[in-house]
Amino acid sequence: MRWLIVSDLHYALPQFDWLMAAAPRFDLVIFAGDALDAGSIVDYGAQTVVVRKYLERLAAVTRVVFCTGNHDLDARDDSGEKIARWVGDLQRHDIACDGDALVIGDTLYSVFPWWDGPVVKEKLLAQLAADAGRREGLRWIWAHHAPPRGSPTSWSGKQSFGDAELVEWIGRYKPDVVISGHIHQSPFVADGSWVDRLGETWVFNAGRQYGAPPAYIVVDTELQEALWISAMGVQSVRLDAPLQRPIAALHALPDWFDPPPVPAF
């Protein structure tokens, strides 16, 4: 199975167009949050309409997992906490979103919301406990927008902006993979990275770059290999071996990888 991992597109429509062109080549697209852009001049309501349409179109050509990030919060619940109300019914389009647990083959995918306060956090903790009871015999993948604090995947170049509680949750539940975003600079700065390993858990953060294509990660679960593709080139790591640093840039793409096209605009 091949995954295409992106995050932090922040309403960059050329990147969404690239994602639409690339998606049919993959068995699963995992979008790790921040589809919207709180700093955009485009109205939030208009952004949600456009992004929903892209997600629905993606789901028509491949499986889609989408977790919300901090930029995706467009409303407040009855307790006053920020939530992403616009994603509430994406499941009817076969999109696994916040609070969902999806089993494909031998893999359980848990999709967690961005939490802004104790109410949503308690729901996330309840989901963790429930999904842990389902994971026996399955590979367990988390989609969680913030990476763990102290990891090179959460390093901004000046400090770590990751989630400290995620570190505890990873230690307790030991997922196989955590797919995050949020910290745009991590793969591009000294002492940062697009990949890390906490115990037996792999952590990925594709980072953010401008223009199309976005920075992205491809995982082949059968070959046990992950690639990071960006303006800096291509890097690779074997998932069936201990993490090696630094990860050497490849001189050539592996035979199995067919790069998606870049749409003409």
pLDDT at 78: 86
Provide the pairing of β-strand 2-6 with 216-220: antiparallel
The residue that leads in pLDDT, 256 or 172, is: 172
**What is the C-alpha separation between 71 and 182, in angstroms, rounded?**
9
Whether the pLDDT of residue 204 is over 50: the answer is yes
Q: What per-residue confidence (pLDDT) applies to 251?
A: 55
Total number of residues shown for the chain: 265
Residue 55: band (very low, low, confident or very high) from pLDDT cuts 50, 70, 90: very high
Query: Contact 81/119 with Cβ under 8 angstroms?
Result: yes
Percent of the chain whose pLDDT exceeds 90: 81
pLDDT, residue 226, reads 93
pLDDT value of position 127 = 97
The answer to whether 195 touches 247, Cβ cutoff 8 Å, is yes
Q: What is the pLDDT of residues 135-178, one digit of tens each?
A: 999 999 999 999 999 999 999 999 999 999 999 999 999 999 99
Domain 2-238's class?
alpha beta
pLDDT band at 219 (very low <50, low <70, confident <90, very high): very high
**Highest mean pLDDT, choosing among 79-88, 172-181, 222-231:** 172-181
pLDDT at 102 over 70: yes
* pLDDT over 60 (residue 247): no
Q: How confident is the model at residue 258 (pLDDT cuts 50, 70, 90)?
A: confident
Question: What pLDDT does 246 receive?
Answer: 46
**pLDDT per position as a tens digit, 117-126:** 999 999 999 9
Q: Give the per-residue pLDDT at 264.
A: 55
pLDDT of residue 68: 97
Rounded mean pLDDT, 191-220: 95
User: Residue 242: which pLDDT band, with cuts at 50, 70 and 90?
Assistant: confident
pTM over 0.85: yes
- How confident is the model over 24-35, as a mean pLDDT? 96
Residue 245's pLDDT is 59
SS3 (DSSP) at 223: coil
Pairwise CA distance, residues 183 & 186, whole Å:
6
Taking 70 as the threshold, does the pLDDT of residue 19 lie above it? Answer: yes
At residue 259, does pLDDT exceed 90? no
> What's the CA angle centered on 138, arms 134 and 140, to 5 degrees?
80
Q: What is the DSSP letter of 148?
A: B
H or E segment and range at residue 96? strand 95-96
